Amino acid sequence: MIRIIHIITSLGDGGAEHTLFKICKYDTSNKHIVISLTGKGKYTKLLKKIGIEVYNLKMNFFSIYKFFYLIKLLYNLKPEIVQTWLVHADLLGGIAAKIIGIQNIIWNARHSTVEIGKTKFSTILIIKLLAKLSFLIPKLIIVCSKSSKKVYENDGYIKKKLKMILNGYDLSVLNINGYQKDIFRKKNKINKNISIIGNVARYDPQKDHFNLLNALSIIKKKKIDFFCVLVGTNIKRNREIIKKIKNLGLSTQVKLLPQTNNIPQVMNGIDIHIQSSSYGEGFPNVIAEAMACGTPCIVTDVGDAAFIVKNNGWVVPPSNSIKLAESIEKALVQTNAKNWKKRCNEARLIIKKNFDISKMINSYTKLWNQVHNTK
């Protein structure tokens, strides 16, 4: 059993946090401890519930003493491997581990695009610094998508250390469930004869909710029936989204729902999932989660979205509401066609074949053993 400490920027609602949680939950052959550089988040409680030791440092820009506390904490916990997640943790966690002589350091790099004007300037500077430090600090650098691997190669990270491990999903939890579909419709008072479009994403510029709303406005003008639910952190009472919905005349077609832990019910409840991001995606979890529940997806061509859906879904350019509306219209027409159920079953088969949770855990275990046994 290897003693692994994970250092992550936060434990809020995000893809990296979700993947870390799944590793801690499904890997029972190693000892996992989690350190969050910031405060408590969604996954703090979930990790503790499955028996994982969690430390929340509540670090900010001015709390230099917290960095020294991190060093002391690592020294006392005596990990055999330190695995850091996201750029701030890669930097601070990597340096802290190196200071006390830990050699087995793994970075988990998850950006898929680094663009001035879209990515924070401070993040760009850190990534440039990490590119230099990649030769000195980590033994290996994990990336979760083909697109992010290219990004980090282009940014100057040492290529021979980059290892790709695709995300994995528990298909015993994420499955096709007609009962959950009915419950979702009844709970949200949605007519059972209308097709439901869904978008599961926190409110963030990169998720580009306005792109989706603009596309729905085009669909409405064509007198096409639909209902849409937007689900995620900072969505339900979001003033900007509510204002946009009213301005587009979509108040009776769009419902805002809060972040939920019952993703299988949402993904079963909707008929089509739309990922409308304009940038910044690596391997979007929500696409695979939707498909695992038999829900076909319309995605923007960002990160590995097209790679995940393959020929089962629809791929459109980012920030193009007209193209997005065209694909939504095509999908809505097909929901009433005879072969729709076949498309739904094929969506799940893609995830089962390529992204089962066991594949991800086996890949991580193999990598940890490799690092641990290397002198």
**Is residue 285 in some structural domain?**
yes
The DSSP call for residue 78 is -
The pTM assigned to this predicted structure is 0.87
Q: Is the per-residue pLDDT at 262 higher than 60?
A: yes
The secondary structure element, H or E, covering residue 290 is helix 285-292
Per the prediction, the chain carries an average pLDDT of 93
Residues 116, 43 share a domain: yes
Residue appearing with tokens 């300037």: 121
Distance CA 113, CA 120 (A): 11
Mean pLDDT check: name the lowest of 150-164, 202-216, 219-233, 340-354.
150-164
**Is residue 280 in some structural domain?**
yes
Residues 297, 232 share a domain: yes
Query: pLDDT (tens digit, 9 = 90+) per residue, 75-102?
Result: 999 999 999 999 999 999 999 999 999 9
Residues 45, 189 share a domain: no
**Structural domain of 326:** 178-354
Handedness of CA 273, 303, 317, 209 (dihedral sign): positive
> What torsion, rounded to 10 degrees, do the Cα atoms 60, 62, 65, 67 define?
50
Instruction: Judge whether 124 and 280 are in contact, CB under 8 Å.
Output: no
Distance CA 105, CA 135 (A): 12
Residues 363, 349 share a domain: no
**Is residue 344 in some structural domain?**
yes
Residues 77, 35 share a domain: yes
Residues 362, 322 share a domain: no
Instruction: Judge whether 212 and 274 are in contact, CB under 8 Å.
Output: yes
Residues 29, 63 share a domain: yes
Q: Is 255 helix (H, G, I), strand (E, B) or coil?
A: strand
- What's the domain count of the chain? 2
Query: pLDDT (tens digit, 9 = 90+) per residue, 4-33?
Result: 999 999 999 888 999 999 999 999 999 999
Query: pLDDT (tens digit, 9 = 90+) per residue, 159-218?
Result: 999 999 999 999 999 999 999 999 999 999 998 889 999 999 999 999 999 999 999 999
Residue length, the chain? 375
**Is residue 258 in some structural domain?**
yes
**Is residue 103 in some structural domain?**
yes
Residues 243, 162 share a domain: no
Residues 326, 255 share a domain: yes
Residues 327, 268 share a domain: yes
CATH code, 288: 3.40.50.2000
**Is residue 367 in some structural domain?**
yes
Residues 226, 331 share a domain: yes
Q: Which two tokens stand for residue 326?
A: 């065209």
Distance CA 73, CA 369 (A): 24
**Is residue 132 in some structural domain?**
yes
**Is residue 173 in some structural domain?**
no
Residues 163, 22 share a domain: yes
